[in-house]
């Protein structure tokens, strides 16, 4: 078979590392650099005890961020993560109080989260409600329900094994971090080795094309939101195990933390691009930053400020990076108005 390689000058220029790999290496490299920097500058940062605490904190945000990554890959957002986490925490405590084994209570919590996720998915896929609005609505419902159930007060009633699961570690590696890695591995396998991953990314990349070639777009959307709810449920139960209490608002900061982890991990808010483990690294990075600020005695308010700014900057960088490409394309084609 005669085979003439297609080698336009442009193609030659574009050779080298595959963009996905280069992107991944960049993020990993940056993470190592930041770690070394923090270790050098911040006293006590690099101690094993500190690392263990940091990883446990990062793990919870990472689990929530993993589910959220799927939603963002489809081009949407899930703001209900924090509300689901609060609600599931309370439900878990209530179930355990009613005599349900703690591990079963955690599973029930995940299913509760999945139910909320499916509702989000149906709103987005069938009613075509913008995702930030639909999930903002369910955020209100879940956060409100959490307040109502808890009657505004945190509740404490947990078996010792569950608290041990939330706070214990083997060889300085917290159980929660192991849980997060397991979730990452399972999700990475499902996304990488089944149709689901391709469907998810193509739905977010170009929904029109995806529908045209026969990708089950609606089912994919519902699956993404359901997974996000499921993992938010797991994260909520894990948080309760870690804190050994369930407060009606303890999940609230995690909406922002999960979005921040994804955004810092380079997941494209416009959909189609982003990797699961980079989102996890993003969660670790943010936890490290917070931890370092804590060690340096920075006020918690300032930490919120830094997180808020970081999100805007990270999104701005990804967007303006894309903006540059669009400017180039704009030379070829008339600019299209972008409706946000």
Q: Which of residues 88-127 bind other proteins (CB under 8 A)?
A: 123, 127
Nearer to other proteins, 31 or 198 (CB): 198
Cα(115)–Cα(84) distance, rounded to whole angstroms? Answer: 10
Which of helix, strand or coil describes residue 199? helix
Count Cβ atoms below 10 Å from residue 77 Cβ, excluding itself: 24
Nearer to other proteins, 37 or 195 (CB): 195
Nearer to other proteins, 164 or 212 (CB): 212
Chain residues 32-71 in contact with other proteins, contact rule CB under 8 A: none
Contacting residue, 24, 132, 188, 298, with other proteins by CB under 8 A? 132
Judge contact between 268 and 318, C-beta under 8 A. Answer: yes
Contacting residue, 53, 144, 154, 168, with other proteins by CB under 8 A? 144
Contacting residue, 44, 103, 172, 316, with other proteins by CB under 8 A? 316
Cα(319)–Cα(340) distance, rounded to whole angstroms? Answer: 12
Judge contact between 272 and 204, C-beta under 8 A. Answer: yes
- DSSP for residue 174: E
Contacting residue, 19, 29, 48, 321, with other proteins by CB under 8 A? 19
Chain residues 248-307 in contact with other proteins, contact rule CB under 8 A: 248, 252, 256, 259, 263, 269, 272-273, 299-305, 307
Element (H, E) at 263: helix 253-264
- Asked whether position 5 contacts other proteins by CB under 8 A, the answer is yes
Chain residues 192-251 in contact with other proteins, contact rule CB under 8 A: 193-195, 198, 201-202, 205-206, 209-210, 212-215, 248
Cα(76)–Cα(71) distance, rounded to whole angstroms? Answer: 5
How far lies 288's CA from each of 57, 250, 312, in Å?
Answer: 9, 20, 19
Nearer to other proteins, 82 or 174 (CB): 82
Element (H, E) at 173: strand 173-174
Stretch that binds other proteins, among 95-103, 143-151, 170-178, 283-291 (CB under 8 A): 143-151
């Amino acid at each position: 078979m005669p085979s003439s390689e297609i080698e336009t000058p442009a193609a030659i220029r574009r050779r080298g590392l595959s963009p996905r790999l280069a992107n991944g290496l960049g993020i990993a490299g940056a993470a190592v650099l930041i770690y070394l920097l923090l270790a050098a500058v911040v006293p006590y940062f690099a101690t094993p005890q500190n690392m263990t605490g940091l990883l446990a904190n990062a793990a919870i945000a990472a689990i929530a961020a993993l589910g959220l990554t799927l939603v963002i890959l489809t081009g949407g957002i899930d703001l209900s993560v924090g509300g689901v986490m609060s609600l599931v925490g309370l439900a878990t405590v209530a179930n355990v109080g009613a005599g349900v084994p703690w591990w079963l209570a955690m599973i029930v919590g995940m299913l509760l989260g999945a139910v909320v996720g499916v509702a989000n998915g149906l709103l987005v896929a069938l009613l075509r409600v913008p995702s930030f609005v639909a999930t903002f609505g369910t955020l209100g419902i879940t956060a409100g329900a959490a307040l109502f159930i808890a009657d505004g007060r945190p509740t404490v009633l947990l078996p010792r094994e569950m608290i041990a699961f939330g706070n214990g570690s083997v060889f300085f590696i917290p159980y929660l971090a192991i849980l997060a890695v397991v979730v990452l591995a399972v999700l990475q396998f499902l996304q990488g080795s089944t149709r689901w991953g391709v469907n998810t990314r193509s739905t977010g990349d170009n929904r029109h094309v995806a529908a045209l070639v026969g990708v089950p777009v609606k089912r994919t959307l519902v699956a993404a939101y359901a997974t996000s709810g499921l993992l938010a449920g797991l994260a909520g139960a894990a948080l309760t195990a870690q804190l050994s209490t369930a407060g009606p608002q303890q999940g609230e900061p995690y909406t922002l933390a999960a979005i921040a982890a994804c955004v810092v991990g380079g997941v494209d808010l416009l959909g189609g691009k982003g990797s699961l483990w980079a989102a996890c690294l993003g969660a670790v990075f943010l936890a490290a930053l917070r931890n370092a600020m804590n060690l340096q005695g920075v006020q918690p308010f300032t930490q919120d400020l830094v997180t808020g700014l970081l999100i805007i900057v990270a999104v701005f960088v990804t967007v303006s990076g894309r903006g540059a490409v669009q400017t180039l394309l704009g030379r070829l084609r008339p600019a299209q108005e972008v409706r946000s």
